[in-house]
Amino acid sequence: MDMTQEIARRRTFAIISHPDAGKTTLTEKFLLYGGAIAQAGVVKGKKNARAATSDWMEIEKQRGISVTSSVMQFQYEGYCINILDTPGHQDFSEDTYRTLMAADSAVMVIDAAKGVEAQTRKLFKVCVMRDIPIFTFINKMDREARDPFELCQEIEKELGIDTYAVNWPIGCGKEFQGVYDRAKGKIIHFSSNGGAKAATATEVDLGDPGLDGLIGPRLHGQLQEDVELLDGASCAFDLDRVRHGKLSPVFFGSALTNFGVEPFLEDFLRMTTAPLPRRAGEETVEATDPAFSAFVFKIQANMNKAHRDRIAFMRVVSGKFEADQEVYHVQGGKALKLSRPQQLMAAEREIISEAYAGDIIGVFDPGIFSIGDTLCAKGKKFRFDPIPTFAPEHFQRIRSMDTMKRKQFLKGVEQIAQEGAIQIFKPPYTGMEEVIVGVVGTLQFDVLAYRLRSEYNVELHTEGLPYCYLRMVGNEEPVKEDELNLGDAKLVEDYKGHQIVLFTSFWSIGWVQERNKDLILLEFGGGKEE
């Protein structure tokens, strides 16, 4: 297969959901179809035993949640699929947002009994920001579910995107019979014999009285009514709108019992795109450009405690990557060889020798990469557009309990900040005994305390701070705290020396601006702000 064909068969997407909607179960079914795992329970087991993929973080085991996002690759019907997993826990970090930057589309898993939940809403906003296509899988139809029309309306209303039901459920709970594929005019009827691929597709005319025998007269009548309503009321299917993130194709099914998962995967792979181009200032870098390029979207240290390693995850944007090939690190201004590139295959990491546009690779990082960095073929020097920084929403003041451990404390905090899991600030005129930490999700505070203890042998003293908004100071000359009327807001500096003001409420931003007309306050990154 040549490079163009390799790239054309790649699909790179993120799965997003509120915790417990069934993301892990669905991912596992995908992997099963692709033959990447031999039996169910490998991915799920991870959640409880948390063995292979992320044993580096004890906190995940203790709390049974996925703190970091991981990547999996598998093959299915000629496609090479990269799934980016996003942590579903209500507390999450910028990592989650950045993972979405590396994806070309997103699959949103929704619990049919619960509809749109808080976490989905938040992740969804990031997808909208990038206009990436969103596919909806309404899961758990084998349980009592809400009315499918109501669910679609909720998605439209809450998330502000049109929906198109690609298939329609026939009953729910114990009566869940399968789905009606609208384009094909087929009923995919399921018989539950233990969950394996037990679906039979029956081509039918909706008016066919024979259908009564298959799904019963009541559900048959209901389906006829629903489909009539759907055909009359819903907007037309438009692949172009799907690909611009304006219309979300909706599928119904049950990941646990394997109903509707494979038809979903097949349609999804057809509708979603091959690796998309990325912007680098004035240039657009196409996936099929034969020269290799990639950007770093995530850095993770100490994945293996014994080795104190640090891995930079990068998305290959164009061309082909070959191990030991020399590449140019634009931000570092140096040519280098990427050592021991690896990929995560289901539950295992493996060393790879080549990768193509759309793939995600992890390389050992001797401490030279930062998030957003560009790597490209020698002779090229473009920079991919920066990955937005998300404004932290929670703040703590932290210091080492043991003042003798100041050095380790600083090293640890700076390292973890470089990975992008936390942002650090310092009050002006102070030494480095204490640091103000800002995070997007409060779980990161626990992760920080845990990692400082286990990796740097530092116990933290922490104090919660009431701030929840921040603005960059845009004045040319540095401003002075004693010349400003800041009320309960606070002036700090980030580690690049930028002045930042922390506010306790949205309202107080206006209050401060009102009283300090010469102070220029600039918005900071993406994220909340509604």
Asked if 139 touches ligand G4P (CB under 6 A), the answer is yes
In the stretch 35-64, what mask flags binding to ligand G4P with x, by CB under 6 A? ---------x--x-----------------
Provide the sign of the torsion angle of the four alpha carbons 127, 128, 133, 139, taken in this order: positive
- Strand 293-301 to 283-285 pairing: unpaired
Q: Which stretch binds ligand G4P (CB under 6 A): 140-148, 186-194, 338-346, 482-490?
A: 140-148
CB of residue 15 vs ligand G4P: minimum separation in angstroms? 8
Q: How many Cα neighbours within 13 Å face the side chain of 467?
A: 27
What 3-state class would DSSP assign to 438?
strand
CA 274 to chain centre: 18
- Of 111 and 365, nearer to ligand G4P (C-beta) is 111
Asked if 148 touches ligand G4P (CB under 6 A), the answer is no
Asked if 22 touches ligand G4P (CB under 6 A), the answer is yes
Q: Which amino acid is at 525?
A: G
- Of 17 and 318, nearer to ligand G4P (C-beta) is 17
Choose which of 188, 215, 250, 255 interacts with ligand G4P (CB under 6 A): 255
Q: Which long-range contacts (CB under 8 A, 24 or more apart) does 501-506 make?
A: 501/470, 501/471, 501/473, 502/395, 502/425, 502/436, 502/438, 502/465, 502/467, 502/469, 502/470, 503/467, 503/468, 503/469, 503/470, 503/471, 504/466, 504/467, 504/468, 504/469, 505/468, 505/469, 506/469
Helix, strand, coil share (%) of the chain residues, nearest 5: 30, 30, 40
- Of 50 and 380, nearer to ligand G4P (C-beta) is 50
CB atoms within 10 A of CB 404: 8
- Of 29 and 490, nearer to ligand G4P (C-beta) is 29
Calculate Rg over the CA atoms of the chain: 25
Asked if 258 touches ligand G4P (CB under 6 A), the answer is no
- Of 17 and 415, nearer to ligand G4P (C-beta) is 17
CB of residue 139 vs ligand G4P: minimum separation in angstroms? 5
Residue 121: its H or E element: helix 118-130
| Distance in angstroms (rounded) separating the CA atoms of residues 359 and 232 | 41
Alpha-helix runs per DSSP H in 234-276: 239-243, 261-271
- Of 110 and 314, nearer to ligand G4P (C-beta) is 110
Q: What is the 3-state secondary structure (H, E, C) of 280-322?
A: ECCEEECCCCCCCEEEEEEEEECCCCCCCCEEEEEEEEECEEE
Asked if 256 touches ligand G4P (CB under 6 A), the answer is yes
Asked if 254 touches ligand G4P (CB under 6 A), the answer is yes
Q: Which stretch binds ligand G4P (CB under 6 A): 17-25, 216-224, 227-235, 463-471?
A: 17-25
Asked if 162 touches ligand G4P (CB under 6 A), the answer is no
Residue found by looking up tokens 């507390």 in the block? 91
Q: Which stretch binds ligand G4P (CB under 6 A): 29-37, 136-144, 211-219, 416-424?
A: 136-144
CA 14 to chain centre: 5
- Of 261 and 447, nearer to ligand G4P (C-beta) is 261
CB of residue 19 vs ligand G4P: minimum separation in angstroms? 4
Binding-site size for ligand G4P (CB under 6 A) equals 18
In the stretch 66-105, what mask flags binding to ligand G4P with x, by CB under 6 A? ----------------------x-----------------
CB of residue 287 vs ligand G4P: minimum separation in angstroms? 30
Asked if 24 touches ligand G4P (CB under 6 A), the answer is yes
- Of 254 and 293, nearer to ligand G4P (C-beta) is 254
- Of 144 and 463, nearer to ligand G4P (C-beta) is 144
Between the CA of residue 255 and those of 46, 175, 181, 192, 429, what are the distances in Å? 17, 16, 17, 13, 56
CB of residue 60 vs ligand G4P: minimum separation in angstroms? 13
Asked if 245 touches ligand G4P (CB under 6 A), the answer is no
Binding site for ligand G4P (CB under 6 A): 17, 19-25, 44, 47, 88, 139-140, 142-143, 254-256
